[in-house]
Amino acid sequence: MTERPWAPGAATGVGSLPGTDPRDAAALVLGELPGLPHLVELPARGPGAGMIGRAAALLVELPVEIVPTGWRLAAHPGRDLSAARDLLARDLDALEEAADGWQGPLKLQVTGPWTLAAALELPNGNRAVGDHGAVRDLTASLAEGVRGHLADVVGRVPGARPVLQLDEPGLPAVLAGRVPTPSGYGTVRSVAAPVAEQALRDVLAVAPPGARVVHCCAPDVPFALFAAAGADAVAVDADLLRTSHYDLLGDLVDAGVSLWLGVVASTGERGFEDARAAVRSLWRDLGFAPRELAASVVPTPACGLAGVTAAAARRALRTVRDVGRSLLDDQG
């Protein structure tokens, strides 16, 4: 089995937090999630700070701009791309300051190629996901941008062991042909699973072995596709899992894939005891020994926390941290 960069008992966040101050956010995740902190996204600062704008800022030689219907590929770089890159630079400056002397895993979230292609428009107004050539170019550009992003972070925080999380909440819709056209009157044709797998593999491959994660908080998570693409961990909302998923999940764990389970909702109704019980119950239902739990499962919030209060976000991160540590008790 490839060694994981994070230790048993680690917990992490999904990515986004409320607020607009990157220094406060960096201090929060390094303080509350010492086992697996992450570079925070703060969407409240505007479109360039959201998941699509952040990924667009990483694209190499594929400029983008904001139009009334969202983000669109553009002929030349402009103010929208400049603003997105400036926000990312501020986040990295804050991380570098807060993580001075940091030694250990550090997670970076990036929108995956399919969710990005489903969100971006071509200059003609069509979704990029409907054009095979555009998807190919977008995937190559994103992979190159992510490669540089990882190198930049390691240059700023030399003790970091980068973990790459690709966010693919839109992939189930891409596979099922449910992505709406910009007009809203139709849908883009579905993408075959082998094609989707290859694009994911191309982007995941820029991260170190053992540090490749795919996150999907939508129903109908394509678990087998993620594993086939080379994911070392799959991050999902535990409340969306059904008993029909258990055989697939068991196969993933048997193959050495880590499960990142979203067990604390952003609304905060599930506290420590309930979250810990949810993890243990699922593990028991999968049929694995309790002593293997802490090494195989990473507790997380169910999804991003951008829409909650600062106090609720801190409480959610603290809860998943405590759940992760509590799983070490099961090692016996």
Distance CA 206, CA 197 (A): 15
The fraction of the chain above a pLDDT of 70, given in percent, is 98
- Average confidence (pLDDT) over 65-92: 96
Residue 268 has pLDDT above 90, yes or no: no
Tokens of 224: 């087998």
- For residue 115, give the amino acid letter: T
pTM of the model: 0.96
Distance CA 37, CA 30 (A): 5
- Average confidence (pLDDT) over 278-282: 94
The fraction of the chain above a pLDDT of 90, given in percent, is 91
Distance CA 266, CA 252 (A): 27
- Average confidence (pLDDT) over 12-38: 97
- Average confidence (pLDDT) over 50-76: 95
Residue 137 has pLDDT above 70, yes or no: yes
Q: Could you tell me which CATH number the domain at 22-331 has?
A: 3.20.20.210
Domain ranges of the chain: 22-331
